[in-house]
Amino acid sequence: MTTVPIAMIAGIGAAVPAGVLTNADLERTLDTSDEWIIERTGIRERHIAGPSETLNSFTLVAAQRAMARAGVTASDLDGIIFATVTPDHRLPSAACELQAMLGAERAWAFDVVAACPGWLFGLSIADGLMRASLGDTILVVGAEKLSSITDYEDRSTAVLFGDGAGAAVVKRATGDGRGLLATYMGSDGNLAPLLHIPGGGSAEPLTASLLSEKKHFVKMAGREVFKAAVLAMSRSTDAAIGRAGLTPDAIDLLIPHQANLRIIEATAKHAGISMDKVMVNLERYGNTSSASIPLALQQAEEEGRLKSGMVAMLVSFGAGFTWASVVVRW
C-alpha cells in the first residue's frame, strides 16, 4: 500500500446507552469481585442498553455526531458500512435500517461481520472502494449491543462486555498527508470454536430447547483467546507499521481494541510503544467489540491526545478469529 493517503477520517462520533453496570452490580448477582475484575481485565463498569433501546437508537446519535464533526449531511453520503455482530434484526442489515433513519437516500449500505476488528475492516473496505472510485463520502460504523448475546449468569463473559457505538465519516484525502497510511486484515477460521455463538443461526435455528440450553449466548475459552489475541495484535501492529513504511517511534498514539488491559500492555510492549502513548478507556466501557476503537479514538481526539498531523496505530482482534490494523495520520 502506498503511504500517500487516498481516504481520511473527516469526523468521528460516539454514543453509549445511559445505563451503567458496575462491578459492584455484578458482585451482587455473580460469584465474582470488583478486585478480580479489575486485576484480570482492568474493567470497572460498562454501559448497557435498556429494554427499549435498540442498537440503532444509540448508533444514530454516534452517526449524527460524526457527520456534524465532518460537516456533511445525509444527502452527502455515498455509502454506509456497518460493522456489527449484534444487528437489531437478522434481515435487513443494520446499515439499511440506519440509512433509512438518517435519510441518506443516495447511499448504498451493507453490514460487515468481523467481530471486534469489524470497524477496522470497514475502514479498509472504505479505503479500497475509494481507490476504485466507488464513493467519496462513506460512513463507517462500529456498533454493538453485546448485552443481547451475553449470559449474565456466566461470570467468564458477563464481566467483559458492554454496549456502544462509534462512527466515522471517511472522505477522500485532501493531499496534505492526513489519512489512512496503511491497512492490514487477517483471519483464521480454524479457531472459531474458541469464541462463538453456537446456536440461533441457520445451522441450528432458534427453538425453545436451544434457548433453555443458552446456545444463543457467546461462549469463550478466555485463556486461549487471550494468548491468540496477544500474538495476532502484535503481528498486526508490525505488519501495518511496515506497510506504512514507518518505525514504532513514529507512532504518536496506539489505540488498541479495549478487551483486556493485560492484552493492551503486552501489545504495546511488543511494539516498543510506552504506555503513556497508549489510549485506554476500557475501565468505563468494557469490551464493546466493533465499537471499541472508534469510542477510544473519539475520546482521544476530544481529550486532545490526538491532534491534526499525529500518527495513530489502530489494532484489533476478535471472534473468527479476525484481526486488523490501520495506521492513520490524523
Q: Which listed residue (223, 275, 307, 309) binds ligand ACO by CB under 6 A?
A: 223
CA quadruple 205, 206, 212, 216: dihedral sign: positive
Peptide bond into 82 cis (omega under 30): no
Q: Select from 103, 108, 113, 100 the least CA-distant residue to 129.
A: 108
Cβ closest to ligand ACO, residue 59 vs residue 137: 59
Q: Cell for 244?
A: 506504512
Instruction: Assign 3-class secondary structure to the chain.
Output: CCCCCCEEEEEEEEECCCCEEEHHHHHHHCCCCHHHHHHHHCCCEEECCCCCCCHHHHHHHHHHHHHHHHCCCHHHCCEEEEECCCCCCCCCCHHHHHHHHHCCCCCEEEEECCCCCHHHHHHHHHHHHHHCCCCCEEEEEEEEEHHHHCCCCCHHHHCCECEEEEEEEEEECCCCCCEEEEEEEEECHHHHHHEECCCCCCCCCCCHHHHHCCCCCCEECHHHHHHHHHHHHHHHHHHHHHHCCCCHHHCCEEEECCCCHHHHHHHHHHHCCCHHHECCCHHHHCECHHHHHHHHHHHHHHCCCCCCCCEEEEEEEECCCEEEEEEEEC
Smallest separation (angstroms) from ligand ACO to the CB of 198: 14
Q: Which listed residue (319, 324, 326, 327) binds ligand ACO by CB under 6 A?
A: 319
Task: List, by residue number, the catalytic residues.
Answer: 116, 257, 287
Smallest separation (angstroms) from ligand ACO to the CB of 319: 4
Among 58-66, 68-76, 236-244, 257-265, the segment contacting ligand ACO (CB under 6 A): 257-265
Q: Which listed residue (23, 41, 147, 325) binds ligand ACO by CB under 6 A?
A: 41
Smallest separation (angstroms) from ligand ACO to the CB of 304: 28
Cβ closest to ligand ACO, residue 319 vs residue 328: 319
Q: Which listed residue (148, 312, 318, 327) binds ligand ACO by CB under 6 A?
A: 318
d(CA 266, CA 143): 26
Q: How many residues bind ligand ACO (CB under 6 A)?
A: 23
Residues 148-167 binding ligand ACO (CB under 6 A) are: 155-156, 159
Cβ closest to ligand ACO, residue 79 vs residue 256: 256
Q: How far apart are the first and last CA of the chain?
A: 18
Cβ closest to ligand ACO, residue 70 vs residue 115: 115
Smallest separation (angstroms) from ligand ACO to the CB of 289: 5
Interaction between residue 116 and ligand ACO (CB under 6 A): yes
d(CA 185, CA 76): 28
Interaction between residue 186 and ligand ACO (CB under 6 A): no
Interaction between residue 267 and ligand ACO (CB under 6 A): no
Among 16-24, 47-55, 196-204, 259-267, the segment contacting ligand ACO (CB under 6 A): 259-267
Q: Which listed residue (19, 92, 186, 222) binds ligand ACO by CB under 6 A?
A: 222
Smallest separation (angstroms) from ligand ACO to the CB of 6: 29
Smallest separation (angstroms) from ligand ACO to the CB of 149: 9
Tell the residue number behind the cell numbers 495513530, with chain if given: 312
Residues 272-311 binding ligand ACO (CB under 6 A) are: 287, 289
Interaction between residue 54 and ligand ACO (CB under 6 A): no
Interaction between residue 84 and ligand ACO (CB under 6 A): no
Interaction between residue 327 and ligand ACO (CB under 6 A): no
- Residues in the site for ligand ACO, rule: CB under 6 A? 32, 36-37, 40-41, 115-116, 155-156, 159, 195, 222-223, 225-226, 229, 259-260, 263, 287, 289, 318-319
